[in-house]
Amino acid sequence: MSSILFKKYAIIDKVVFYKLDNYIDQKLFFVGIDMTNPNLYFYDNVDFDNPIATIDLSDIDKPVDSIPGLSGYARAHIIIKLYKVFKEKKFPDYMVYQRT
């Protein structure tokens, strides 16, 4: 199955953390989405002190550097999905990206 499952993991200091089960790259990630500022924080474990990447969503056209262990394909779909979540200000408990 080529999909990414987003499951709400925690909310800490106005940052919503999602556990990402990434069946595209076979890698587990966590992503924090700031509820008030347009930032995404990528983590490769539950230590939310040191993100492995930070993405500023205020300039969606700006190129994004690679994220270790995450393919460009998966990274693009994660960013698009969470950009929509930030814009709508709705942070669901569960989301799915399914590759067709």
* H-run or E-run covering 73: helix 72-88
The pLDDT of residue 30 is 93
pLDDT tens per residue across span 26-46: 777 899 999 999 999 999 888
Contact criterion met (CB below 8 Å) for 91 and 35: yes
Sign of CA dihedral 19, 6, 29, 16: negative
Q: What is the mean pLDDT of the chain?
A: 86
End-to-end CA distance of the chain: 10
Per-domain boundaries in the chain: 3-98
Pick the most confident of 3-17, 49-63, 72-86: 3-17
